[in-house]
Amino acid sequence: MSSQCCPCCDPGAEARPGATPKKWWPLVLAVFLALGAEFIGETTLPRAEWISPLLALSGIAFSGVEVYVRGWRALLAGRLDINTLMALAVTGAFLLRQWPEAAMVMALFTLAERLEGMAVARTRNAIEKLLEMAPEVASVSRNGEWRSCAAKDIQMGEIVRVRPGERIPLDGEITRGQSTVNQAAITGESLPVEKAAGDAVFAGTLNESGFFEFKVTAAAQQTLLARIVQLVAEAEGERAPTQRFIDRFARYYTPMILAAAIMAAIAPPLLFDASWRDCVYRALVLLVIACPCAFVISTPVAIVSGLASAARMGILIKGGVHLETGRKLTWIAFDKTGTLTHGKPECTNIEVFAPEAERANILQYARALASCSDHPVSEALTRESRLKTFSRRDVTAFAALPGSGIRGVIDELPLTLGNRRTLASRRIFISEALARADELERQGKTVVFLSDACRVLALFAVADAPRAESRAVVGELKDMGIASIMLTGDNERTAQTIAAAAGIDRVASELLPEDKYRKIAGLRTPQTGDKKEFVGMIGDGINDAPALAAADIGFAMGVMGTDTALEAADVALMDDDLRKIPKFVRLSKATHAVLVQNITAALVVKGVFFLLALSGVVSMWVAVFADLGSTLLVVANSLRLLKYGAKPARTLRKGRASLPAR
């Protein structure tokens, strides 16, 4: 049986965009008609013997025609599903002249479907309501005038203004003004962020205080907010392991229940001369009590609730499989630059190993090469005021050397800007430069060398401060039983300094991208023992792509507005907050606990009432209420995850976010 063979199995069907909401009055009327049939059947009123079945039949018509059609259609197609069980149970009850019970079974079953649909709609709306945060109308500058215009009609490059207290309608870059912006809708962070000219703003976030204008960088359908909603919707379609198990279980469960009911109906009369009527009625009760609604609904509601809760915390999970795997993590591998550190290194030392007359040219070469790369170390050199005073030179034959540096030709001179590996590969050894590099690296700085074909021209040292929260995060992971390792292409001394500050004991340094890949693969398959390790890798989502792909879960840091990182990661952290890693693991454990609770509760309730039904002490009324109760129990338990990680009130946070290149 497919888990989406009926609304009970796909309870969010009528909650999806474009679906027509169903009216409640026919269902309410069906319940009253069933109660009326029971009341009339117990009286001695004239013609009660045909009024009662007429009322019951009317109740079935108002509540269960769709179930009947789906059930018999499935049966004729040679497959069994929940609708088939209900159609058989109601038909059998009617043939046994149990008219009120037949009507009530159908009415309550339909009521359960409707309530489940509302529950799943609530979890989906938790994400879809994010889109409603982006205003439909914006003030845009056109032909020198400010005009109100539908946000969906505003094009990239147009200028939009936002007043205090208004929500930002589209993604963009501030061109004039400054303010503090509440980005909780996207990042989950409770502290507003200061914004000024050149900073990124995102649709759906709240402008709290100032007035500013911004240039639109994404159309309404392509904003970060819209992409988050789309990715979470796609994640719902990727079934978690528990959900796949439940699907397989339900495929065999329904035929087994039908076979058991048939045996319960025919075996006692044939073998023990029991009453055919009583045994058939008992079999119909079994069909009702064994309906697998609670099993089928237990997993998807919990998974979708977990995904919605994570998205509100600024953690974008790309599928239920990753949400379930998070609790199993035994290793977290951290990239260094931009992950354990802020990723904004500053140049601290410049030393030229050439005559003073060549100094200006050498520094110009360094600036020209660095400006061709987006690596954090290169960007630090580009920002360095001592290099900005020099004019840029044209670079030809530029190439990136993964894990080593960059190279290019300037004034017909082949030059390389990179780490020790670039020197070793070209057999360039200058003791003075290497001795000075050793000294700087012992201070926790990263050193890069500018060299030509045969000598080191200069060295540059940059320092990147560790994140304040990194030690607390590593300690929190250790308390959870998760070991940490740092993987970096940087030199060993700098790596050890940063690792010590973060509390990480194991370090692998001077790694190329393929080395990181092999390290992750090695952690997953240890040489001794047969226990599988589950490894998470956290990096920038682009440079660490091989390692992220090799890990059981790849985490991308600070991916607001970056399409590549959003697509590359299994889990995307919408800001640069490392504390979201332990939050993700705790949410994974909480989701797993809810899944276990749901399955256990469904099994216990079904098992108890199944035994009671076999003994003949449970009526069809009790059976349908037990089925409804167990279903609503697991739904209510799953919805608790929507409140997971709720945050208290906010205070101002300093800092600015820059807009990534699109």
Catalytically annotated residues: 335
Provide the residue count of the chain.
662
Residues in CB range of 10: below 8 A, 6 or more apart? 3, 4
Handedness of CA 259, 264, 270, 271 (dihedral sign): positive
Instruction: Kindly tell me the burial class for residue 358, based on how many C-beta atoms sit within 10 Å of its own C-beta (0-12, 13-18, 19 or more).
Output: middle
Instruction: Kindly tell me the burial class for residue 249, based on how many C-beta atoms sit within 10 Å of its own C-beta (0-12, 13-18, 19 or more).
Output: middle
Residues in CB range of 293: below 8 A, 6 or more apart? 8, 82, 112, 116, 627, 630, 631
409 backbone dihedrals φ, ψ, rounded to 5°: -115, 125
**Pick from 138, 325, 122, 128: nearest CA to 228:** 128
HEC profile of 31-100: HHHHHHHHHHHCCCCCCHHHHHHHHHHHHHHHHHHHHHHHHHHHHHCCCCCHHHHHHHHHHHHHHCCCHH
Report yes or no: 450 and 417 within 8 Å, Cβ to Cβ. yes
- The SS3 of residue 112 is helix
Residues in CB range of 261: below 8 A, 6 or more apart? 283, 284, 286, 287, 290
**CA angle, 474 then 476 then 480, to 5°:** 110
Rounded to whole angstroms, how far apart are CA atoms 517 and 291? Answer: 48
Rounded to whole angstroms, how far apart are CA atoms 294 and 602? Answer: 6
Rounded to whole angstroms, how far apart are CA atoms 197 and 259? Answer: 71
- The amino acid at 634: V
One-character DSSP codes across 201-262: E-TT-EE-S--EEEEE-S-GGGSHHHHHHHHHHHHHHS--HHHHHHHHHHHHHHHHHHHHHH
CA 228 to each of CA 100, 144, 380, 561: distance values in angstroms, whole numbers, following the listed order: 49, 34, 31, 10
Residues in CB range of 579: below 8 A, 6 or more apart? 469, 472, 473
**Which single residue is written with the structure tokens 């069994």?**
80
**Pick from 288, 293, 291, 297: nearest CA to 622:** 288
- The SS3 of residue 534 is coil
210 backbone dihedrals φ, ψ, rounded to 5°: -90, 180
- The SS3 of residue 446 is strand
Helix H or strand E segment including 633: helix 620-639
CA distance between the termini of the chain: 45
Alpha helices in 480-534 (DSSP H): 492-502, 513-524
**CA angle, 487 then 516 then 465, to 5°:** 25
Rounded to whole angstroms, how far apart are CA atoms 218 and 566? Answer: 15
**CA angle, 265 then 270 then 271, to 5°:** 110
Instruction: Kindly tell me the burial class for residue 50, based on how many C-beta atoms sit within 10 Å of its own C-beta (0-12, 13-18, 19 or more).
Output: exposed
Strand partners, 451: 416, 456
